[in-house]
Amino acid sequence: MDWAQGEQVPSKLLCLTGSAGSGKSALAQTISETCAQKGRLGASFFFSVTDVQRNTPDRFVASLAYQLSRSMRGVNNHILRAVGDEPAIFKMSLETQAEVLLINPVLNAAQGSKSKRHWIIVVDGLDECRGEHHQAQVLRVLHTCVDRGLPFRIFITSRPEYAMRSALALTGHLNGAYHIILNEHDATADIRLYLRRRLREIGQAKGDDHWPSEDVLEIIVEGASGQFIFATTVVKFVGDRRSSPFRRLQIIVDWASNSRNKHTRNPFALLDALYTNILFTAQAAYQESFEGEGECPRLIHRLLSFMVITDLCTIEDKAFTGARAIESVLQWDDSECDRLVEDLYSVAQVKPSVTRGEFVISFYHKSFLDYLLDSSRSQSFHMPPDVLFADLAMKVLNHINAVDLDYIPAGWGRRCVGAADDRWHWSKVLDVALLAWPHLLPLALEVDPNEPVYN
């Protein structure tokens, strides 16, 4: 709130990015409500992928204009005059709508005012606006509002998808914006406080002031792994007035600890729907990128393949960095890893390595891996571990058998400039295969004999 209320700020644009379920919308809602109570909220817009009226920018400018006409003195008459002069304005481009309904009316109203007051504009869930080009349009409009000197401070939340990442990049038009990365904040303590307060309220309503125990609470906090949507899902499930909260919390604990007593009802259905939607969208985009290249492989199969090989090599060599060599072991095209994560930044993070051009991929939250490993939850996106290990074992063994440092078959992997570089790259590829093989073999031997890969 210091940014919203202070006289001097590093930027009038504040962008908050974070992984799926990290609490961005909850923060946006809190800021909107607090600013409204203090009389500082100019307007807000919450994009929602499931709401046809809020998953495109069609009503975005009109909604902001309407709210500003009610919150900012003198703006209403200018907006009404603009609509009267141009009745078709709502069918024009987003940029034209912003110019006619927002920028000109606010600037005209400000000319006759001596007030230096600024207004807070909250835009939540930009990533839930369908289409990267639409997301980029919204960002350009908001940037223009600030650039033209409107008395706004604009708070934007989004998953770190392409439109937002490119806008915040060094060459992007939001390069100077104030950027907060939510995942760099450890929310564990906040989640613990939230769960303790909300669950204790439920317990007290049932006559037990000390429920749940701290041990049970810690199991749930650990399961959340810093993810607020996990915590809110737990509270909603346990708080269902038609069922016993004590029995429902035990269901949560059994699922979170992967107990054999796991109840058939899935308490994380809401969380699973979020992950399924992310993977469905990412797979569709990945498939589009393969147009003209033949059959598109399963995105999650490739992502897990890369991560498994990386983890196995790291067991043997803590300083291991070899993303490009792994691409060759897996018989992928150059920079395939970049294409893999392009639409998965909301669940996976890419950390650059100290070695130039290398990086490591990891999941933000344990709950996503739990989802992938449970076939009843991930369903069509489930990848049986034994099949994955067997497939990787065969690829690795093929390299161990075939790689000859005196002769490298044409067309295998990336070709480097110069014989020395070429030889170094293939030595690295062989290193990857040899590091991973001892771990993959016993895992691969567990594969079901009925699976095609077994033969």
Q: Is 382:375 a contact under the CB 8 Å cutoff?
A: yes
For the chain, the straight-line distance linking the first and the last C-alpha, in angstroms and rounded, comes to: 62
256 pLDDT more than 90: no
Closest CA relative to residue 368, chosen from 175, 177, 183: 183
Please say whether the beta carbons of 169 and 175 come within 8 A: yes
Class of domain 6-184: alpha beta
Please, what's the b/e burial string for 215-226 (b: 16 or more CB within 10 A of its CB; e: otherwise)? Answer: ebbebbbebbbb
Confidence band (pLDDT; 50, 70, 90) for 454?
A: low
- pLDDT per position as a tens digit, 424-446: 566 777 788 888 888 888 887 77
% pLDDT > 90, the chain: 41
Looking at residue 406, its pLDDT comes to 56
Q: Which secondary structure element, helix H or strand E, spans residue 299, and what is its range? A: helix 299-316
User: 415 pLDDT exceeds 80?
Assistant: no
Q: Where are the domains of the chain?
A: 6-184, 188-267, 282-454
Count of all residues that appear for the chain in the document? 455
Q: What is the pLDDT of residue 335?
A: 82
Averaged over 340-353, what is the pLDDT? Answer: 84
Average pLDDT over residues 77-104: 95
DSSP-assigned states of every residue in 221-289 = HHHHTT-HHHHHHHHHHHT-TTS-HHHHHHHHHHHHTT-TT--SS-TTHHHHHHHHHHHHHHHHHHHHH
Q: What is the pLDDT of residues 109-125, one digit of tens each?
A: 988 777 778 999 999 99
The string of pLDDT tens digits covering residues 159-211 is 999 999 999 998 999 999 999 998 888 888 989 999 999 999 999 998 888 99
* Residues 6+ away with beta carbon under 8 Å from 403: 426, 429, 430, 433
